[in-house]
């Protein structure tokens, strides 16, 4: 099963962000781990990252045709982008929302996510390992 892993704004500079919050890995290292975890679960992870909201939406549209599951960490867009919510809502495939940091314990504006009621599962505050948990969730539900 192919899984679309869609990371959003500012996740390309993960290695420059607060390691206490984000785990200290680079995006490349994170994607390498995600791909390896997926292989162990007999899944195929297709990782993408963009800082362009329109591109993120277009990638959602593209993945509608092939993704059996979706893992989304839209970064700050999670807190306000109804365009990204609308695009992710198009999937019949299960959606897992992932946040490296625990957004429920941070600034008030981060505590809300526009994805919270469309995600089949949410993995929050588990660092890079959260992506593995998201893959495990999708592997368990695979037909
Ligand atoms: C994030 C949390 C967001 O609030 C933040 O804007 C990010 C990353 C996370 O993975 O913890 O860019 O989605």
Structural domain count of the chain: 1
CA of 92 to the centre of ligand 1 (A): 25
Residue nearest to atom 1 of ligand 1 (CA): 75
What pLDDT sits at residue 16? 95
pTM score = 0.97
The residue whose CB lies within 8 Å of the most ligand 1 atoms, and thus the one to mutate among 101, 114, 133, is: 101
Spatial distance between the Cα atoms of 93 and 70, rounded to a whole number of angstroms: 7
> Considering only CA atoms, which residue is closest to atom 2 of ligand 1?
75
pLDDT at 142: 76
> Helices 129-141 and 27-40 meet at what angle, rounded to 10?
30
CATH number at residue 104: 3.40.50.9100
Is the separation of the CB atoms in 96 and 119 below 8 Å?
Answer: yes
Per-residue pLDDT, 42? 97
Q: CB of 43 within 8 A of CB of 1?
A: yes
The ligand 1 atom nearest the CA atom of 99: 10
Structural domain harbouring 85: 2-139
pLDDT tens, residue order, the chain (143 aa): 999 999 999 999 999 999 999 989 999 999 999 999 999 999 999 999 999 999 999 999 999 999 999 999 999 999 999 999 999 999 999 999 999 999 999 999 999 999 999 999 999 999 999 999 999 999 998 76
């Amino acid at each position: 099963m192919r899984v679309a892993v869609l990371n959003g704004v500012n996740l390309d500079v993960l290695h420059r962000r607060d390691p206490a919050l984000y785990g200290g890995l680079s995006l490349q290292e994170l994607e390498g781990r995600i791909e390896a975890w997926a292989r162990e679960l007999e899944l195929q992870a297709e990782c993408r990252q963009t800082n362009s909201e329109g591109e993120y939406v277009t990638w959602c549209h593209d993945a509608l045709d092939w993704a059996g599951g979706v893992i989304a960490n839209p970064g700050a867009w999670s807190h306000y982008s109804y365009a990204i919510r609308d695009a992710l809502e198009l999937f019949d495939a299960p959606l897992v929302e992932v946040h490296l940091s625990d957004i429920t314990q941070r600034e008030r504006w981060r505590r809300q996510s526009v994805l919270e009621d469309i995600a089949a599962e949410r993995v929050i505050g588990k660092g890079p390992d959260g992506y593995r948990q998201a893959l495990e969730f999708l592997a368990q539900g695979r037909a």
